[in-house]
Every structure is written in structure tokens, then in C-alpha cells.
Structure 1
Amino acid sequence: MQKENCIFCKIANHQVPSYTLFENEQVLAFLDLSQVTKGHTLVIPKQHADNVYDLSQADAQAVFAAVPEISRALQQETGAAGMNILSNTGKVAGQSVSHFHLHLIPRHDKHDGFGAKWEVHNDDYTAEELATIAESIKNRL
């Protein structure tokens, strides 16, 4: 199912031009118009899913199966020393387009325009609390 007002669905259907890098039946990868670093790429399922919670297993497999090949090509072309691979799910996490997508961000050094930094809260949870959290999540799988 495609979503009529979704920009990524329009890109996947070739209704809107893009700088396509990779395409198969289920997946499309294209340059992000807002380049964080040279080669910043978005990888999407062609089938609409608002976010990772809505992503089918088949589309997840297809997207993640394509990532290594695309990442290697990005690394070879840009000479990147590393790569950030991330997805924002929900507005609170910074998702701005409601169509699941992975960002592949080639990294050159710590001052190349991208920063992913978080505070660690090691003292906030005891071993018992972590075990309880893990068990609760496992029970939902």
C-alpha cells in the first residue's frame, strides 16, 4: 500500500525525481537532499510503513539485506572512515517523514557535521531492575 501524500512513496513510484543509488523490487536508496556528509543516503522500503513499528518482516529483511552493499559503495566512493546507520522513529526521536527510512551517513572525522551523542545512565538501574526490564520485553516477543 502506498500513501498518497507521502513524499517517499512518490519517490519510490518515480513521481518525484531523486538521486537514486540502488533499486530492486522492494527497496530504494537515494541521496538525502539534506546532505549531512557527502553521500548521506536514505534507504526505504517501497511499500509504505510509517515507522519501524509498522514495518513488515519481509520489507525489514529486504531493507537490511541491501544496507551492506550500499554502505560498501558509499565507503569506497567517499573514502569514509566510518558510517552511522540510524533511523528515527516518532517525532520525539526526530522523525520528520512518516515513511520508514534508514540514514546511511558516511563519517570522515569527529568534526564532519554529524554528532550522535547520548548520556549514559549506568547508575539509574540496578542489575535486578535490568533483569526485570529484560524479562518484561522477552515476554512480549
Structure 2
Amino acid sequence: MAEEWLYQIRVGLSDQAASLLNVDPQNTALQSLTDVLQKHRAAAITVFDAFAGYVSEAEQQGVEKYPLYAWTKAALEDPAKREKFAKLCTLHVNGDEVYEKSVADALEADLLPLVEHGALTRVTKHDSNPANNPQPPARFRQG
């Protein structure tokens, strides 16, 4: 029996959308994105915010319990990566970071037209199979 992976949709934001997302999410320039997110009960979380939250939680709970702490913290300290991460979002559906393929497919289908209209720069779908996801560089691996 084949293993069933969960999925996550990630989007790249235009410069305008990235600058508005955290300061004025109700701005009409974001309306098409907001409509899709509401339809799918999804929330856009910038990679920067997600990484900062991970680092903060690790520092409060004990970094030894967080295997990606050093890698994540180093990435946040790199100005070029900070700028990149402010323009990338992961989409959580019903509060979940990963979800069924059918949910991801429907969300992806509704988001792809926003790339053509310039609100988004890209839409990607990722599965939870570790073989398909980047691993930390050796210097950041524990053990």
C-alpha cells in the first residue's frame, strides 16, 4: 500500500502584496487573495514569521528539543534570506500546516490565476515526504 502524504501550498507574494499583508491585510489590492483564502478557510503565514516563531519557541522551551533551531536562526540572521522569507507564505488550512491532497489541489487551482494577475509570483505544492524536502546542511544537523 502506498503511503499517503499530506500537502502544503506555498505562495510567492508580489512586492505590493508582501508590503501590505502584515500592515493592511484588508487592503483592496489583496482582495483576490483574501477571497481565495476565505473560501478555503486558509491563512497566509510568511516564512519569516513562521521561522521567527519557531526560533522564539525553541529559545523558550529549550533549543535542544528543536532540531532545526540553528539552521533556522542562521537563516533569519541573513539579510537576503530575511527579505526573501518576507515574500513567501505557507498556507494553513483550518489551522493545519499540512492537509489532504484534494484540499491542496483545490486551493492551488484557485490561486494559480492570481499569478497571471500579478498578486502572486508563484504557487507551489509540497508533500510531506522527507525525500522531497530540503534537509539542513551538515553543519546544522544534530547528532
Settle same-fold status: TM greater than 0.5: no
TM-score range, shorter-chain basis? 0.3 to 0.5
Greater C-alpha Rg: 1
* Higher relative contact order (CA closer than 8 Å, sequence separation 6+): 2
Of Structure 1 and Structure 2, the greater helix share is in: 2
Q: Normalising by the residue count of structure 2, what TM-score does the alignment of the two structures yield? A: 0.32
